[in-house]
Amino acid sequence: MKFGETFTEYLHGDQEGFLESFSHVEYKRLKKVLKSCRRCKHSSDSCSAEEEQADGSVVKELCQCETCSVCDQKFFTELMREASDIDGCFRSRVRRLLQLNVANGMQRYIKILRNCFRGDDQHLMLQEGRMLIEYIAMNAIAMRKILKKYDKVHGTENGRNFKSKLRAEHVELLQSPWLIELGAFYMNCRGSNAECNGHSGQSSFDFDPEVSVMTMSLPDSMSVEYDLTCSICLDTVFNPHALSCGHLFCKLCACSAASVYIFQGLKSASADKKCPVCREAGVYAKSFHLSELNLLLKNRCKQQWKERMAAERAEMVKQSKEYWDMQTKYVIGY
């Protein structure tokens, strides 16, 4: 079965109700645009011509229609919008799914009450997590294939370059920190080498603590590796936080880079503070804690996690004392 048929069957199959309010790649329609563009090229005499040189040799000119304004407008503008919509849908649904799984205080109390009336809903959460993984995987495969077809039809690398633009705009589907968080949730519930079977095939997550890498294997022979090494301390991320640009850091390292105290949190950083990796400003305001990834690291790297927890607490006590000493001196005018 061709991918177009598989993708259509996925959209209108058993999960149609689940996907009803979700955005998706308009794969079949964009493919028709490419086919019409290809027919236009074949019927145009200007796309290939032969020129006779002075020495009698014949040189075949290359097609000058490498860029197509119609395709460019339909593809890159629309694909950027679709990628942004898909990323937004995925992010909001994963956040809602996981907000009660690792809960504290009142949220934990609400979760206990829910379980009293509904029973343990972990199975339902895993089912929804599987559908979200398949949703992001199918759309990522569709986008990869349609961009590959674009390059094949036009003889350019604009489709490949567009992937870099997606990453720069933080909407590349398989590079979302929320996908890392969802994979960690799946491994916390299912154990190592967690697998989930979907309409398009089998997906799996694996974490190797020796090299601090999480691997996600997807249908269509796709595999994505996520480096869980903090770019500041060059160790496995501890108490991991993601900035809005998508880069992961230890909370302690990110706070130090933003010149804020640990107990103040990353969101207290000023708007002009930049990501230590990509140097983008204003990325601390929408940072978030990867609680499921933190739980995964706690379970898989127990001794290292305890040592780093003790070190972070000692640094927090030190910073708190320094902060209150400064406040005291300010009040008494010293």
Higher per-residue pLDDT: 191 or 77:
77
Alpha helices in 155-229 (DSSP H): 158-168, 177-190
Average pLDDT over every residue of 202-218 = 83
The region, left, alpha or beta by phi > 0 then psi within -120 to 50, assigned to residue 58 is beta
DSSP character at residue 63? P
Average pLDDT over every residue of 215-244 = 89
Position 252 confidence tier, pLDDT thresholds 50, 70, 90: very high
Output the average pLDDT for the chain: 81
Residue 70 has pLDDT above 70, yes or no: no
Residue 64 has pLDDT above 70, yes or no: no
Return the minimum-mean-pLDDT range out of 25-29, 83-87, 120-124, 247-251.
120-124
Buried b (16+ CB within 10 A) or exposed e, 172-201: bbbbbbbbbbbbbbbbbeeeeebebebbbe
Q: What is the pLDDT of residue 105?
A: 61
Average pLDDT over every residue of 288-307 = 92
Residue indicated by tokens 């107990």: 263
Task: Report helix, strand or coil for 226.
Answer: strand
Most confident of 45-49, 124-128, 283-287: 283-287
Higher per-residue pLDDT: 111 or 132:
132
* 210 vs 189: CA distance, rounded Å: 21
Buried b (16+ CB within 10 A) or exposed e, 37-76: beeebeeeeeeeeeeeeeeeeeeeeeeeeeebeebeebbb
Give yes or no for a contact between 135 and 173, defined as CB atoms under 8 angstroms apart.
no
CA 94 to chain centre: 11
- The Cβ of residue 156 has, within 10 Å, a number of other Cβ atoms equal to 14
Average pLDDT over every residue of 125-153 = 88
Give yes or no for a contact between 88 and 95, defined as CB atoms under 8 angstroms apart.
no
Average pLDDT over every residue of 276-300 = 92
Task: Report helix, strand or coil for 216.
Answer: strand
How are the residues of the chain apportioned to helix, strand and coil, as percentages rounded to the nearest 5? Answer: 55, 15, 30
Average pLDDT over every residue of 69-89 = 82
The region, left, alpha or beta by phi > 0 then psi within -120 to 50, assigned to residue 226 is beta
As to burial, measured by CB atoms within 10 angstroms (0-12 exposed, 13-18 middle, 19+ buried), residue 232 is: middle
Task: Report helix, strand or coil for 66.
Answer: coil
Return the minimum-mean-pLDDT range out of 66-75, 79-88, 229-238, 295-304.
66-75
Query: In sequence order, what are the residues at sequence separation of 6 or more whose Cβ sits closer than 8 angstroms to the Cβ of residue 72?
Result: 158
Q: What is the pLDDT of residue 61?
A: 37
Residue 139 has pLDDT above 80, yes or no: yes
Residue indicated by tokens 């974490």: 207
Average pLDDT over every residue of 247-272 = 93
Higher per-residue pLDDT: 239 or 332:
239
Give yes or no for a contact between 32 and 11, defined as CB atoms under 8 angstroms apart.
no
Angle separating helix axes 122-154 and 158-168, nearest 10 degrees = 140
